[in-house]
Amino acid sequence: MLSSLAQVLLSGLQIGCIYALMALGYFVILRATGILNFAQGEWMMISGVLGVVLIAFGVPYYLALLAAIAGAVLLALAAERAIIRPLQARGAPQPIVLLSLFGTMLVARYGTGVLFGRQDLPLDGPAGSGITIIGEANFIANQTLVVYAITAAAFFGVAIFMTRTWLGRSLRVASIDPLAASLIGVDLTRVRVVSFGLGALIAATCGWLYFPLYAVGYLNGSIPGIKGFIALFVGGMATTMGPLAGGLALGLVEVAASFYLPSIYAEGAAFVLLMIILVAKPSGLTGGKES
């Protein structure tokens, strides 16, 4: 049997991967457009809600999964088209853009609440509830392995995308100097669309990892959404590894705190971790000097 500390670490690692993925979604959008997309948690939630609904209608699991993720991504792209694009075209200042994203977040959340009702419903993970035996007496849930795999794939994929493809490199250049980027032929709108879509894809996929652990409900995208931010700021925004470091750190700290402290204070651990980073090393765990 794994020691209780090891169990703590493993479950911290799992939730940490989920936070890391959420942070990655924010990261992609923030790096490409400078916008902190408050609606990410809602795309995750909508992907879960769509999944539950489709499965309830008898759609086969994997089809429902794909359709739900696609649905969430389409919604995100629609929001970009209808809201962000006109604002950026007008050169609206950042606080206005942020406000429109708050609004989008509220509409997505409460619109879903109105349409789908307020109950929390369960969702199965892609790996079901099977377990894999390791060694003699240890086991690990298959779902946990799926989480690790998806996280590794996502981070690897994004890192490759950002460094090896023209589109990915455009994203990086666009964030550093939009004017220069447009001068060398980078289409800023395309950059924004791709980054919003990619961010939503990551968040929507993450929903299928998170909601099997907690239930699907219209309000349940809020907490992972906020934790994703916290993870991003803890880990740093300089490189793709920032969100990963931040997510894992947050997950581990949180689980360790809930192990040793009454759970109501364990949430404070996230806040304390964030404050320590913001005060001592604002560029995050992986950040270098502030640029």
Partner 1 sequence: MTTATSTAATRLFIPNTAVGVIVAIALVIPFFGSTYHITLAVNLCVTLILTLSLNLVVGSSGQFHLSHAAFFGLGAYTSAVLAKTVGIPPLLCLPLSVLLVCTLALLVGLPTTRLRGLYLAVATLAFSLFVEVFVNQGGALTGGGYGIQDVPALTISGTVLSGRAFYPLALLLMLLVAGSLYGLMRSRLGREILAVRDHSDAAAAAGINPPVIRTLVLVIAAGFAAIAGWLHCFYHLALNASLVSPELTFVWFFMVLVGGIGNVRGVVIGTVLLTLLPEFLGVATGQTILGIGVLMIIVTLFAPRGLGGVLDDAIARFGKARS
CA angle 164, 168, 174 (to 5 degrees): 130
- Cα(262)–Cα(291) distance, rounded to whole angstroms? 39
Centre a 10 Å sphere on the Cβ of residue 188 and count the other Cβ atoms it contains. Answer: 16
Nearer to partner 1, 180 or 276 (CB): 276
Nearer to partner 1, 10 or 92 (CB): 92
Query: Binding partner 1 by CB under 8 A: which of 22, 49, 97, 255?
Result: 97
- Based on the shown chain and the rule CB under 8 A, indicate whether residue 92 belongs to the binding site for partner 1: yes
Name the helix (H) or strand (E) containing 29: helix 4-33
Query: Binding partner 1 by CB under 8 A: which of 59, 67, 77, 103?
Result: 103
- By the 8 A CB rule, do 108 and 46 touch? yes
Number of residues that bind partner 1 (CB under 8 A): 43
Least spacing, CB of residue 162 vs partner 1, in Å = 21
Nearer to partner 1, 12 or 168 (CB): 12
Centre a 10 Å sphere on the Cβ of residue 1 and count the other Cβ atoms it contains. Answer: 9
- Based on the shown chain and the rule CB under 8 A, indicate whether residue 275 belongs to the binding site for partner 1: yes
Query: Binding partner 1 by CB under 8 A: which of 230, 244, 245, 249?
Result: 230
| The CA-based dihedral angle spanning residues 51, 56, 57, 62, taken in that order and rounded to the nearest 10 degrees | 40
Nearer to partner 1, 108 or 202 (CB): 108
Least spacing, CB of residue 239 vs partner 1, in Å = 18
Query: Binding partner 1 by CB under 8 A: which of 63, 93, 120, 128?
Result: 93
- Based on the shown chain and the rule CB under 8 A, indicate whether residue 274 belongs to the binding site for partner 1: yes
- By the 8 A CB rule, do 197 and 190 touch? no
Nearer to partner 1, 66 or 120 (CB): 120
Nearer to partner 1, 15 or 127 (CB): 15
- Cα(48)–Cα(42) distance, rounded to whole angstroms? 10
φ, ψ (nearest 5 deg) of residue 242: -55, -60
Centre a 10 Å sphere on the Cβ of residue 49 and count the other Cβ atoms it contains. Answer: 28
- Based on the shown chain and the rule CB under 8 A, indicate whether residue 31 belongs to the binding site for partner 1: no
Query: Binding partner 1 by CB under 8 A: which of 58, 60, 95, 185?
Result: 95
- Based on the shown chain and the rule CB under 8 A, indicate whether residue 261 belongs to the binding site for partner 1: no
Render 206-262 in DSSP notation, one character per residue: HHHHHTTTS-B-TTTTHHHHHHHHHHHHHH-SSSTHHHHHHHHHHHHHHHHHHHHS-
Q: For the purposes of burial, counting CB atoms within 10 Å of the CB of 4, is it exposed (0-12), middle (13-18) or buried (19 or more)?
A: exposed
- Based on the shown chain and the rule CB under 8 A, indicate whether residue 288 belongs to the binding site for partner 1: no
- Based on the shown chain and the rule CB under 8 A, indicate whether residue 105 belongs to the binding site for partner 1: yes
Query: Binding partner 1 by CB under 8 A: which of 145, 182, 241, 267?
Result: 267
Query: Binding partner 1 by CB under 8 A: which of 11, 33, 47, 100?
Result: 100
| The CA-based dihedral angle spanning residues 268, 269, 272, 277, taken in that order and rounded to the nearest 10 degrees | -150
List of residues contacting partner 1 (CB under 8 A): 36, 83, 86-87, 92-93, 95-100, 102-107, 109-111, 113-114, 118, 222-223, 226-227, 229-230, 233, 263-265, 267-268, 270-271, 274-275, 278-279, 282
